[in-house]
Structure formats: structure tokens, C-alpha cells
Amino acid sequence: MLCRRIISCLDCDLAVPDGRVVKGVEFKKIRYAGVPWLLAEKYYKEGADEIVFLDITASHERRETMTKVIKKTSERVFVPLTIGGGISTVKDARKVFNAGADKVSINTAAIENPHLISELAKYYGTQACVVAIDAKRRYINNHEKEADKIIVDTPQGSCWYECSIYGGRKFTGVDAIKWATIAEELGAGEILLTSMDKDGRKDGYDIALNKKVCEKVKIPVIASGGCGKPEHILEVFNKSMVSAALAASIFHYESYSIPEVKEMLSKKGILIRL
């Protein structure tokens, strides 16, 4: 039986020579957390099932730094490594694969050019292409009809989810749940689903969102955004069919260690790799 996965996410700012891991709050404020490959190695040794690097550098002149970070990481980390941020062509993807990445995660480029998903799937296989979706709740009034949108009931009211691109700076009008199903058809291997409402708030994953997307697609879904304590991971595993949970800050600041989190989940009956 397949285990649920715990994915350790490192947001990287590559504007300094070796890059640095940072953590934003609600897609905005930034705090530093450490050297990318050293943190990745630490999490690997502690039992992270996968590592994700997201390049959050605003400019696109830092590619060389990313290559170095991937290379150094893949020499010492023997679990899957996913790279996201700023990948907009097959050529960009080739660079990170050649440096040692196993998967790429695409967001903005996939929405602007959905064909990129099929291209990546063709060259590198479905499994190498993760489509990242940043979803923001758009509440609706009772009388309001959003006929072309998938409406989800949440404890805070009914809403649809809008896709955001450029790291949360631009909204697209695209229905995030519908987009997930399209990405699947085009050849995405996994959906990395981030709730913009929950990200950085540390009060739990968006259960309604994760549940709905899992119902709509057959490929694995990775829950992201909102993890503040191990119980949040337990909750999203128990209440939705997500295959993996992504967490960043709860590990960065040593509030909780990966073994501690995994043991708790295992005790609560979640199948996990210990």
C-alpha cells in the first residue's frame, strides 16, 4: 500500500551567491531560514519523502545560482527533488533536469501556455511534470449564480477558486478546480495545490479545496498552504484523499521535527514511511 508523503518545501531566494531559503506569509512578507542544500540534506536525513525548491526570486537572472543549488542538493539528497518557479519552456526544464532535478513544477507558464504541460510530458514523461495551482477563494452571494464556476461549500461560505499566477500577484479569472482537470488531461503527473487564503497563516490546510480537487482528478494531489502544526497534516489526510502534504515553516524553525510528525501520523493510523 502506498504511503502518504510528507514533502518539505524550501522557498529559495537566489539573489545572493548560494541562494537562501525564505518563508513568506500570505505570499508577502519574507523571513530567512537557511542555506538551500544544507537544509535539504537535513530534511532528507530526517526522513522527508520529497524535497521541493520553489524559486521565488523576482528577476530571471539567477538561473546559474539555481543550477548550483540543484547540483549540490542532488549530490547528497537521495529522495525526489522537484524544482518550481520561473520554468516557462522545455529548455528551462532541461537545465534543471540536467542539474539533477527529478520533476519540475510549473504554474504561470502552464496557464499562459497549457501546451507546455504536454511538451514536458512528451519529453520527460508524465511523472516529471507537476502542475502547481495557487487558488484563492472567491465568495459568492446566495442569489449570485456563477454558472461556469465550480462552487464549493466551505465553513466560511460558498465560493469558487480563482487561479493566481506570478507568485500571487496576478489573478486570471480561471477556475482552479476546472484547471486541475484540464492539466490532468494535458499530461500533468501531479497537482501541487496551494491555498492562497491559508498559506503562511498556520491554521490548517483548506480542506474543502483539497477534497474537491481530489474528487475531480485521478492523479495525485499535494496539499499545500496553511500547515502550522502536525495535526493539520493529520486533518488533511483524514478529511481528503490527498496523496501528500507539503509543509515549510513548521520544519524550518524547528517547531517540529520530521520524525516527530511522522511518528504522530503513524500512531494515528496514517500509512507513512518511518
Partner 1 sequence: MKIAVIDYEMGNLKSVTNALSFLGAKPIIVKKPSRLRGDKIIVPGVGAFGKASQNLRPFSSKIEESLESNIPLLGICLGLQIFLEESDESPTEKGLALIKGKVRKIETNLRLPHIGWNSLEIKKKNCPLFKGVEEGYVYFIHSYEAVPEEDVVAATTEHGRQICASIWKNNVYGTQFHPEKSGKLGLEILRNFLEL
Of 19, 85, 220, 228, which one interacts with partner 1 (CB under 8 A)?
Answer: 220
- Choose which of 43, 124, 160, 179 interacts with partner 1 (CB under 8 A): 124
Residue type, 117: I
Rounded Cα–Cα distance for residues 222 and 203 (Å): 17
Residues 6+ apart with CB under 8 A from 139: 156, 157, 158, 159
Under the binding rule (CB under 8 A), the answer on residue 257 touching partner 1 is: no
Q: Report in angstroms how near the CB of residue 168 gets to partner 1 at its nearest.
A: 27
Question: And the C-alpha cell for 23?
Answer: 518563508
Classified as helix, coil or strand, 150 is coil
Residue 218 interacts with partner 1 (CB under 8 A): yes or no: yes
- Kindly indicate which of the ranges 21-29, 31-39, 61-69, 125-133 contains the residues binding partner 1, using the contact rule CB under 8 A: 125-133
Told to check if 75 binds partner 1 by CB under 8 A, we report: yes
- Rule CB under 8 A: is residue 91 a binding residue for partner 1? no
- Of 33-41, 96-104, 170-178, 226-234: span binding partner 1 (CB under 8 A): 96-104
Q: Are 270 and 4 in contact (CB under 8 A)?
A: yes
CA max distance for the chain: 57
Q: What single-letter amino acid sits at 43?
A: Y
* Using rule CB under 8 A, residue 17 touches partner 1: no
Residues with Cβ within 8 Å of residue 130, at least 6 apart in sequence: 82, 84, 103, 104, 105, 106, 188, 189, 190, 191, 192, 222
Q: Give the binding range for partner 1 (CB under 8 A) out of 110-118, 136-144, 153-161, 236-244.
A: 236-244
The residue length of the chain stands at 274
Q: Which amino acid is at 256?
A: Y
Q: Which is nearer to partner 1, 126 or 257 (CB)?
A: 126
Residues labelled catalytic: 11, 134
Selected from 53, 97, 160, 251, the binder of partner 1 by CB under 8 A is 97
Kindly list the residues in this chain that would bind partner 1 in the complex (CB under 8 A): 1-5, 44, 47, 49, 74-76, 78-80, 97-102, 122-128, 189-190, 218-220, 241, 243-244, 273
